[in-house]
């Protein structure tokens, strides 16, 4: 069936089936600053058309440049359909599905983002399956479809993706700097009948190795990159430390401890952590996070965040995450962030999620800016090394 028509889509929206992702804090779609951030980004309408730092790409690796939006989100451009329709997406290792807004979306957020028009694509197919993607910050309701997806110069045929009919709550996406999300987690998290994008790239023989990697820049708008099918050693120092995936749903690993100056302050006796490019901060269980906030003298503020003296960045110690015997220090310059008003806040946050997930740590972009990360699907492991 090529197309259901508008009335068919409206009918689908009234009988949606909830398919939760059990995601802890996937994206901070309701980005801080809202209108302030939006106004700032409007000053750079052409900044996505850049070359990546004049680096010579490995011919065996496909590079997808990412734009760093104020250290809050890393966004790349993909296209869907024939001829291609372009979208800005977050490449999220904490989920497994691809979705973008549709021209039939009724939410206010869709009016401020690019929307996909199925009638303009000669390769579009609709499945008729209604979906409801649930994230930590909101949900996206819509329907499943198939079309050609282009990413990093690779052409992925008959890729399953979701088209949104509704995005809620209203602030979930309205001020987001991206149009949709492309999940890079394991297929077990994907919608029924939907093969994730990365799995299709591998099955169609488009990449040399069954792995991908991220380099996330610090503060710089340009320079971040997603590598598909391999890694480029020029982006990290030393060797990759390979850590086995403990549960192949999220990119989840066993963590030994969290310590300061050799004293364990959290994760005593071991715990679990998820490596998540779709989370801005470092999140964890309530009590350990509150203990860390107290340790760094972070004060709970009226807006729900934790304010820190900006001068403390020069005196506070590293917080060390020990993973599979390897130490990964996070300095105060990383876990304290100054905003556009010149005030500072803690980059630690309590997890949001139901049991058994609320006791899992999520190592988001704060951690990943420090450590180049390779995600090896062939061997179910994650490689970590200090980023250059």
Closest by CA to 275, choosing from 240, 300, 303, 251, is 251
Catalytic position from the list 97, 276, 365, 376: 276
Would the CA dihedral through 28, 12, 145, 120 be positive or negative?
negative
Say which residue the tokens 């996937």 belong to.
26
Within a 10 A sphere around the Cβ of 3, how many other Cβ atoms? 13
Is 276 considered catalytic here? yes
User: Which two three-digit tokens encode residue 202?
Assistant: 């591998």
- Please give the Cα distance from 209 to 110 (Å, whole number): 36
Closest by CA to 230, choosing from 204, 201, 250, is 201
The DSSP secondary structure of 14-74, one letter per residue, reads TT---EE---SS----S-TTTHHHHHHHTT-TTTTS---TT----TTSEEEEEEEETTTEE
Closest by CA to 132, choosing from 14, 32, 39, 224, is 14
Catalytic position from the list 92, 97, 199, 376: 92
- Please give the Cα distance from 207 to 205 (Å, whole number): 6
Cα 388 to Cα 218, 271, 291, distances in angstroms: 10, 28, 31
Is 92 considered catalytic here? yes
In terms of C-beta density within 10 A (0-12 exposed, 13-18 middle, 19 or more buried), how is residue 118 classed? buried
Q: Which residues are catalytic?
A: 92, 276
């Amino acid at each position: 069936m090529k197309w259901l028509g508008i009335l068919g889509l409206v009918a689908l929206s009234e009988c949606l089936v909830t398919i939760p992702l059990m995601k802890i804090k996937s994206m901070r779609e309701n980005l801080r600053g809202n209108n302030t951030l939006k106004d700032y980004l409007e000053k750079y309408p052409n900044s996505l058309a850049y070359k990546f730092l004049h680096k010579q790409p490995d011919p065996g690796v496909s590079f997808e440049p990412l734009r760093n939006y104020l250290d809050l989100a890393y966004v790349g451009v993909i296209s869907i359909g024939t001829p291609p329709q372009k979208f800005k997406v977050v490449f999220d290792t904490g989920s497994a599905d691809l979705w973008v807004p549709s021209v039939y979306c009724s939410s206010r957020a869709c009016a401020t983002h690019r929307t996909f028009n199925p009638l303009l694509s000669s390769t579009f197919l609709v499945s008729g399956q209604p979906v409801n993607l649930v994230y930590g910050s909101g949900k996206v309701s819509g329907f499943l479809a198939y079309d050609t997806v282009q990413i990093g110069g690779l052409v992925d045929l008959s890729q399953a993706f979701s088209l949104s009919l509704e995005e809620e709550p209203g602030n979930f996406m309205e001020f987001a700097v991206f149009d949709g999300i492309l999940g890079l987690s394991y297929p077990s998290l994907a919608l029924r009948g939907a093969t994730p994008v990365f799995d299709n790239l591998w099955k169609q023989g488009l990449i040399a190795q069954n792995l991908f990697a991220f380099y996330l820049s610090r503060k710089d708008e340009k320079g971040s990159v997603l590598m598909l099918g391999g890694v480029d050693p020029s982006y990290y120092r030393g060797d990759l430390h390979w850590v086995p995936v403990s549960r192949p749903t999220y990119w989840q690993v066993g963590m030994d401890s969290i310590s300061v100056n050799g004293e364990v302050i959290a994760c005593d006796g071991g715990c679990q952590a998820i490596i998540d490019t779709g989370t801005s901060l470092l999140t964890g269980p309530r009590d350990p996070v509150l203990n860390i906030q107290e340790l760094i003298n972070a004060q709970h503020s009226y807006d729900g965040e934790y304010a820190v003296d900006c001068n403390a960045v020069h005196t506070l110690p590293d917080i060390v995450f020990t993973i599979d015997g390897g130490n990964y220090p996070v300095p105060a310059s990383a876990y304290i962030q100054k905003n556009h008003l010149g005030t500072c806040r803690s980059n630690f946050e309590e997890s949001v999620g139901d049991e058994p997930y609320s006791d899992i740590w999520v190592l988001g972009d704060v951690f990943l800016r420090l450590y180049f990360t390779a995600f090896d699907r062939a061997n179910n492991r994650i490689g970590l090394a200090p980023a250059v």
